[in-house]
Amino acid sequence: MREEEFSVTPWEVKGKVDYDRLIKEFGTDKIEEGLLTEIKKYTHDLHPLLKRKIFFSHRDLDWILAEYSKGVKFYLYTGRGPSGDVHLGHLVPWIFTKWLQDKFDVELWFQLTDDEKYLFEKKLGIRDAKKFARSNALDIIALGFDPEKTHIFSDIQLSGLLYPQALKVAKRVNFSTTKAIFGFNEQSNIGQIFFTSMQAVPAFLPSALAEKNIPCLIPHAIDQDPHFRLARDVLPKLGYLKPAAIHCKFFPGLKEGGKMSASKREDAIFTTDSKADVKKKISNAFTGGATSIKEQRTKGGNPDKCSIFQYYCYLFEWDDEKLQTIRNECKGGSLLCGECKKRLIERVEKFLEDHQRKREEAKDLLDKYLVEHSKKIFELYDK
Ligand code: TRP
């Protein structure tokens, strides 16, 4: 693959992603300054992930805000494919989703697609997928979503409620469309071809249950856009609104290039990693440093190519001035990679200590967040 080539699908990201080109190819809209000002009217401040253009693209976010200003509340929908442990990259859109929930005081539906992961991951059994769904839910709860307003569910567990809704979508999508959007072929298993209709369901389920249209905003990494492009096409045919979306970039791995991948254990920091793991992984990470200390002192490092610097940007330095200082000191040659890594190790360790404690506490909270039976959902809408 040449440097300028890349590919982004919901199941695989390859090459160095050109996000501006992706906006054009997918047909989404860039988040411009005017829209940021609009968001700020309601949130009063801007999350660093917005300021840093890590959330960089959207569909119909301006419409969601216009409705909100008229007193029409939206709900949030996001999800996770539980194929293994959660790593720090997964937390980025979720942390942002929590910020949105806090600022707009809205409901959140959180889909765990254990069905998807069973269908798409060769080695994963149904039991494994269900087990990961439950353990990943602990990571989600640990982030502190509002228990009264957050509904986490597994597709398999809640299938009795979701399946008839998914059928409505499936009936309106033909084989050639899924082939064109997702690249399926004659060898794809038939569950994969059906799956996107399950991912479409939470984009209208609350409207179906409430028997009135409620706008939906989906924060997600840009690779999931094909699913929602399809959902936006089909939902109006069912009498529902098109879901809006806000998209983020991929969290970089610790090695050169590409997004953080759960398949390479060494390339990512998992929420369940020990201090020793963190230290080892960060110490071995790819940086933008020069080949020798002497050279770095004189010529400086390159933060834009550095995985450690990206960690500060995405999660570990929310203060813009302090981030700028790191950048300047790196470029000026006064901050060397060893020291910069050491500081990051301390932050990640502290973050994980805190997260792991909350994750333990979440075990007692599962019942509050998890929607496991249709009955519980109907109760929600009988209030
Ligand atoms: N398919 C997603 C994944 O593999 C999981 C998912 C389901 C999702 N619904 C979503 C992600 C909504 C973002 C928004 O990770």
Determine, yes or no, domain membership for 180.
Answer: yes
Determine, yes or no, domain membership for 376.
Answer: no
Same domain, 271 and 244: no
At 322, the pLDDT band (50, 70, 90 cuts) reads very high
CB atoms within 10 A of CB 304: 11
Same domain, 280 and 198: no
- Identify whether the C-beta of residue 282 lies closer than 8 Å to the C-beta of residue 348: yes
pLDDT of residue 22: 96
Same domain, 340 and 226: no
Residues above pLDDT 70, as percent of the chain: 95
Closest to 81 (Cα-Cα) out of 10, 14, 22: 10
Same domain, 171 and 293: no
What's the average model confidence in pLDDT over 174-192? 95
Residue 24 has pLDDT above 70, yes or no: yes
Residue 221 has pLDDT above 70, yes or no: yes
Can you spell out the DSSP letters for 299-349?
H---GGG-HHHHHIIIII---HHHHHHHHHHHHHTSS-HHHHHHHHHHHHH
SS3 162: helix
Same domain, 156 and 224: yes
Determine, yes or no, domain membership for 370.
Answer: no
For residue 286, the CA-to-ligand 1 centroid distance in Å is 29
Is the Cβ atom of 115 under 6 angstroms away from ligand 1?
A: no
Residues spanned by the domain of 189: 6-254
Residue 383 has pLDDT above 50, yes or no: no
Determine, yes or no, domain membership for 378.
Answer: no
Is the Cβ atom of 79 under 6 angstroms away from ligand 1?
A: yes
Determine, yes or no, domain membership for 380.
Answer: no
Q: Assign residue 198 the CATH number of its domain.
A: 3.40.50.620
For residue 209, the CA-to-ligand 1 centroid distance in Å is 21
Residue 379 has pLDDT above 90, yes or no: no
Same domain, 115 and 199: yes
Same domain, 54 and 202: yes
Give the C-alpha separation, 292 to 361, whole Å. 46
pLDDT of residue 381: 65
For residue 224, the CA-to-ligand 1 centroid distance in Å is 7
Same domain, 249 and 280: no
For residue 241, the CA-to-ligand 1 centroid distance in Å is 19
Mutating to test ligand 1, I would choose from 153, 224, 227 the residue with most ligand atoms within 8 A of its C-beta, which is 224
Is the Cβ atom of 116 under 6 angstroms away from ligand 1?
A: yes
- Residue whose pair of structure tokens reads 């759960």 in the numeric block: 262
Same domain, 141 and 52: yes
Give the C-alpha separation, 3 to 12, whole Å. 17
Residue nearest to atom 9 of ligand 1 (CA): 79
Determine, yes or no, domain membership for 374.
Answer: no
Same domain, 314 and 179: no
Is the Cβ atom of 97 under 6 angstroms away from ligand 1?
A: no
21-35, 58-72, 113-127, 253-267: range with lowest mean pLDDT: 253-267
- Identify whether the C-beta of residue 39 lies closer than 8 Å to the C-beta of residue 47: no
83-87, 259-263, 315-319: range with lowest mean pLDDT: 259-263
pLDDT of residue 232: 98
Mutating to test ligand 1, I would choose from 55, 77, 113, 261 the residue with most ligand atoms within 8 A of its C-beta, which is 113
For residue 64, the CA-to-ligand 1 centroid distance in Å is 20
For residue 113, the CA-to-ligand 1 centroid distance in Å is 7
For residue 77, the CA-to-ligand 1 centroid distance in Å is 9
For residue 79, the CA-to-ligand 1 centroid distance in Å is 4
Q: For the chain, count helices (H), then strands (E).
A: 19, 9
Q: Assign residue 330 the CATH number of its domain.
A: 1.10.240.10
For residue 355, the CA-to-ligand 1 centroid distance in Å is 22
Ligand 1 atom index nearest CA of 218? 14
Residues above pLDDT 90, as percent of the chain: 88
Give the C-alpha separation, 5 to 3, whole Å. 5
Same domain, 241 and 298: no
Residue nearest to atom 6 of ligand 1 (CA): 79
Determine, yes or no, domain membership for 150.
Answer: yes
Q: For residue 323, what are the contacts with CB-CB under 8 A and spacing of at least 6?
A: 312, 313, 317
Determine, yes or no, domain membership for 190.
Answer: yes
Residue nearest to atom 8 of ligand 1 (CA): 79
Residue 267 has pLDDT above 90, yes or no: no
Same domain, 76 and 95: yes
Instruction: Provide the number of structural domains found in the chain.
Output: 2
